[in-house]
């Protein structure tokens, strides 16, 4: 087997743009082999990689103080065959700080493990455990590929299960040129089934959903997602949850990007009050060479802080890419709470992310 070590680098503002973690050309890691044959099977590429991030966070909330931790240590392997098959596996050690009124969490988890077959650009089938294709950030979920330290609140609270165990059909079609722009349409339809053994939060039973995104490279996109799932049983009866998101992004110039996303969830569980939550954010990011400046305003229901609690957050993030493998961020956020068990507060963070 031919063993080749290769580092594949991104360029320009993409070093800080939110982007999917698995592209046709994986961005970093170790390219173990290419154009090889094993047991009579032609391997197109076998790629393995590791990324990790660490942060220092501080808050003026009583009882929180400061926290220094390794937030994520992620290992992934991507094996692709010349006949269109792909095997992808991703495992992660995660530690989430409680700074910022978040829930402290430490876990070792199999994030994704799926088999995929690509018929063409317009159709591919995925079987296994995969990131829930809802909204912008959930399919990405790699902190090192986003442009803030802390995700929007509805993402941090995991109002939508991070993963599904099941099958999805996805693809990209090219309807043509309109208004002097070449358009693309991306779609995903999925179905999954969760039991307690799958460790998918409170989801138990069948889940279904879909996502459609219309856009053009270098211009922006507009998309919508929906999902419906069964909830864990309470008193012998299961509840339900319906979720949806509308989102969009506009590249005003090569350096200036605008983005917005609206999320809604309606959840009912027997014996408990209905949990209706919604959140919205708008953000602007400016890129200059290896620097990025990001401002995000969000408003979100936060049932973790009270049945009628609401947070309004102004978040400022400065990012710098030492090189495509090493990224730095500094972040300040001002939280305003309403009918919550905690008063208004402020947070500050420093972050380091590394691709190996």
With beta carbons less than 8 A apart as the criterion, state whether 31 and 4 touch: yes
Q: Is residue 149 classed exposed, middle or buried when 0-12, 13-18 and 19+ CB atoms within 10 A define those classes?
A: buried
Q: How far apart are CA 160 and CA 243, in angstroms?
A: 7
Please check the confidence at residue 248 and state whether its pLDDT lies above 80: yes
Q: Residue 193: pLDDT band by 50, 70, 90 thresholds?
A: confident
Determine contact, residues 319/147, Cβ cutoff 8 Å. Answer: yes
Homologous superfamily assigned to 12-355: Porin (2.40.160.10)
The answer to whether the CB of 351 falls within 8 A of the CB of 332 is no
Average pLDDT, whole number, for the chain?
83
Mean pLDDT of the region 43-47 = 82
Residue-wise pLDDT tens digits, 317-344: 999 999 888 999 999 999 999 999 999 9
């Amino acid at each position: 087997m031919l063993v080749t070590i290769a580092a594949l680098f991104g360029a320009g503002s993409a070093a800080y743009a939110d982007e999917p973690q698995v592209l046709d050309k994986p961005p970093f890691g170790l390219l173990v082999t290419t154009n090889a044959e094993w047991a009579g099977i032609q391997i197109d590429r076998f790629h393995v990689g590791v990324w990790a991030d660490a942060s220092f966070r501080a808050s003026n909330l009583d009882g929180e103080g400061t926290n220094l931790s390794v937030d994520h240590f992620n290992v992934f392997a991507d094996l692709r065959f010349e006949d269109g098959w792909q095997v992808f596996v991703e495992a992660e050690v995660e530690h989430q700080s409680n700074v910022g009124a978040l829930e402290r969490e430490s876990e070792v988890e199999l994030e994704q493990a799926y088999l995929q077959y690509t018929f063409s650009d317009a159709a591919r089938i995925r079987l296994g455990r995969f990131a829930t294709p809802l909204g912008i950030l959930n399919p990405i979920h790699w902190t090192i590929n986003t442009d803030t330290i802390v995700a929007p609140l509805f993402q941090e609270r995991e109002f939508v299960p991070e993963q599904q165990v099941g099958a999805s059909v996805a693809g990209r079609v090219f309807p043509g040129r309109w208004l002097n722009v070449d358009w693309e349409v991306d779609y995903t339809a999925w179905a999954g089934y969760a039991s307690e053994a799958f460790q998918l939060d409170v989801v138990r039973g069948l889940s279904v959903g879909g996502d459609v995104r219309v856009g053009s490279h270098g211009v922006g996109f507009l998309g919508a997602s929906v999902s419906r799932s069964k909830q864990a049983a309470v008193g012998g009866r299961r509840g339900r949850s319906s979720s949806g998101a509308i989102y969009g992004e506009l590249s005003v110039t090569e350096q200036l990007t605008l983005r917005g996303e609206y999320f809604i969830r309606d959840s009912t569980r027997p014996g408990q009050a209905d949990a209706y939550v919604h959140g919205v954010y708008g953000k602007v990011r400016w890129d200059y060479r290896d620097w990025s400046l990001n401002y995000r305003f969000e408003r979100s229901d936060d049932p973790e802080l009270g049945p009628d609690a609401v947070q309004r957050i102004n978040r400022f993030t400065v990012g710098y890419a030492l090189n495509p493998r090493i990224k730095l961020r500094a972040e300040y956020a001002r939280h305003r709470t309403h009918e919550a068990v905690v008063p208004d507060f402020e947070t500050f963070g420093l972050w380091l992310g590394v691709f190996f």
